[in-house]
Amino acid sequence: MASLSANPTTILKVLPYFKEKSFSVDNASEETGVPYQTIQEIVKPLIEQRYTLEQNGNLVNNEGAIIFLSVQALKNGASLDEVFKIVRWQDFENFIEMILYEHGYTTYKNYRMKKPRIEVDILALKRSFGLLVDCKQWHKILGPSNLNSIVKKQIERAKIMLLNDKKMPKDIFLVPVVVTLFPSSQRYYEGVPIVACDMLKSFINEVDGRMDEVLKVSIKDGKVSSKI
């Protein structure tokens, strides 16, 4: 995902417009005081990523546009409080689910089991495997102590689901994944991918061919195992 050089205050001024289906750059510039050319520079990477289209003199946005800009504002120095005055955390989860769906996964957001009672942010199934995604809105880079707890809980959820969820397809294996707003200090923790939100597309494009690098949770002879 391309990055923006605009300062976070400027991005936050124009961010609300990307909640709309479409808007005029002229109007946005006049109402916010942000120069027309600056808005065009902000929009350029969105167009390259196909989150925004130019149409009949207006900019037309899909759901990913506001998340793209939100992540850039955070990376450029905006606070979570500033961003979440404009967007909801649920919008980030929707964005993650949307990308998985667009890449051929069958997705289930806030997937729940009753016995035992667990919930996962997103379950994404594709052919013989599934991604068990935990979405984290941390306002800082995750360190080893945080990752250790988060990863262990996600691995345990995968084991519980495979052993107890009768709706889970047979012979499937699950790959626990943690998706964060900010890049982690590590790409993998004990074999579990730690993926920054703006790198999710790249990860999904590559994961099929890199299964030998990730932790896989599966059942064999009635017993659950997790191994790389």
Q: How many domains does the chain have?
A: 2
What does DSSP say about strands 192-196 and 173-180: parallel, antiparallel, or unpaired? parallel
* Residue range 137-189, pLDDT digits in tens: 765 666 777 888 999 999 999 999 999 988 888 889 999 999 988 777 788 99
First to last CA, the chain: 28
Same domain, 77 and 95: no
3-state secondary structure of 31: helix
Structural tokens at position 212? 């030998």
Residue ending a domain, choose from 60, 87, 114: 87
Do 219 and 127 belong together in one domain? yes
Neighbours of 108 (CB within 10 A): 16
Q: Quick check: is 2 in a domain?
A: no
Q: Are residues 180 and 169 in the same domain?
A: yes
Any domain includes 97: yes
Say if residue 95 is in the same domain as residue 35: no
The answer, yes or no, to whether residue 119 has pLDDT greater than 70, is: yes
- Classify the C-alpha dihedral 149-153-154-156 as positive or negative: positive
Q: Is the per-residue pLDDT at 228 higher than 80?
A: no
1: in domain? no
Domain C-terminal end among 28, 54, 87 = 87
Which of these three, 87, 119, 136, is where a domain ends? 87
The size of the chain, in residues, is 228
Same domain, 13 and 105: no
Same domain, 39 and 24: yes
* Confidence class for position 1, pLDDT limits 50, 70, 90: very low
**Residues forming a β-bridge with 191:** none
pLDDT of residue 159: 94
In a domain, residue 110? The reply is yes
Domain CATH number, residue 15: 1.10.10.10
In single-letter form, the type of residue at position 178 comes to V
Q: What is the mean pLDDT of residues 53-78?
A: 88
pLDDT in tens, 52-63: 999 988 999 987
Indicate whether 186 and 199 sit together in one domain.
yes
Instruction: Give whole-number Cα distances, 67 to 90, 104, 151, in Å.
Output: 11, 21, 25
The parent domain of residue 111 ranges over: 90-227
Q: Please enumerate in sequence order all residues whose Cβ is within 8 A of that of 106, keeping only pairs 6 or more positions apart, or say none.
A: 124, 125, 126
Q: What is the pLDDT of residue 167?
A: 86
CA distance 96 to 198: 10
- 17 and 128 together in one domain: no
Same domain membership, residue 159 and residue 52 = no
